Structure 1
Amino acid sequence: MAVSAADLEHAIKGIDFPASKDELVEQANNNNADDTIVAVIKDLPKQRFKSPIEVSKAFGKEKRQ
């Protein structure tokens, strides 16, 4: 499954920022996100995110590598 930014955004819907990577993973699991999406979150380079935009930027950088 190819993960899109929209998939990622949907997976973390409802989380309060700032948030840690572990909190993002927990929220994705609470939202019944696919294991592939959870794995993408775990692979994000940063440990703490100030906003959903920051998550999207980190996802974009990771996807380009």
Structure 2
Amino acid sequence: MTRGVGGHSPANVQKYLSGVDYPAEKQDLIECAKRNNAPDDVMEEIRKLPDEQYGGPQDVMKGYGDIE
């Protein structure tokens, strides 16, 4: 399995964003992940995303790839 930032899989982040309505702001992603009971490590990764509007899952993954 491909690993992302900090050894976490980007697909794992997407799992907890199920049901988000795109386009979505970063805060919308955070709220959706909370509703989906995302664990603390996933919440931390989402909070690190750039503060911008995301047009779809592919934009989230692009933002995830930009995390230093």
Short-chain TM bin: 0.7 to 0.9
Runs of 4+ in structure 1 over 6 Å off: none
Residues 1-65 of structure 1 aligned to structure 2 (within 5 Å): 2-62=7-67, 65=68
Shift of 1:60: 1.3
TM-score (norm 1): 0.86
Gaps of 5+ in 2: 1-5
Residue 10 of structure 1 aligns to which amino acid in structure 2? Answer: K
Q: Deviations over 1:11-52 (max 9, x none)?
A: 101111000111100000100001111111111123211111
Quote the sequence identity (%).
Answer: 33
| Unmatched segments (≥5 aa) in structure 1 | none
By percentage of residues, which structure has more helix? 1
